Amino acid sequence: MLQKYFIAIIPPQLQCEEISSFKEYISKTFNSHGALQSPPHITLHMPFSFEENKEDVLLTCLQNFKFSKDCTIQLKNFNCFEPRVIFINVIENQLLFQLQKSLVQHVKSNLNIFNQSDDLRGFHPHVTIAFRDLKKQTFYKVWEEFKSKNYEATFQTSEIALLKKGNLNWEVYKTFKFTS
């Protein structure tokens, strides 16, 4: 049976709680619940389908992924993809782009799984707080409120997470250290 997965960076507990509070506020205030279906994350590899009975091959592939350095992630303020997505900015840095490119290449060459975002729009790191079920007219109300809000956080990461689709939500299935 095919199962859905994606690969991401999950912020530390403190930042997850802060980001989740934005998601919950939007859910309660604006009736947009889509972003609550996954933990706060920065997508490195878009969702893909994989045979669940061959999951051990996927896990081994990710366990074998290596990257030379920890990556510093800086989150700063909010931005959007009009007219449906509001997110926390991830300040661009070369190491993060190298990590993403390396991971996508590793998965492609070892499992023949392609990352759609490379073909469609490239890598634009962000942490989504509202999307998909955010109606167009509601989007502008939420954006009006968040466009001038301040938020900043910085953290180091040396791991990636494999997220797996459950009945309703995405869950962190397993994490993998990418540095020794």
Domain boundaries, position 134? 2-177
Domain of 6, CATH number, reads: 3.90.1140.10
Q: Are the C-beta atoms of 54 and 110 separated by less than 8 Å? A: no
Average predicted confidence (pLDDT) for the chain: 95
Would you call 86 helix, strand, or coil by DSSP? strand
58 versus 119: the higher-pLDDT residue is: 58
* Digit-coded pLDDT (tens) for 40-52: 999 999 999 999 9
Residue range 78-91, pLDDT digits in tens: 999 999 999 999 99
Instruction: Tell me what pLDDT residue 8 has.
Output: 98
Residues 6+ apart with CB under 8 A from 56: none
How does pLDDT run across 97-140, given as a tens digit for each residue? 999 999 999 999 999 998 865 555 689 999 999 998 999 999 99
What predicted TM-score, i.e. pTM, was given to this entire model?
A: 0.96
pLDDT of residue 118: 55
Report the number of distinct structural domains present in the chain.
1
- pLDDT score of 179: 87
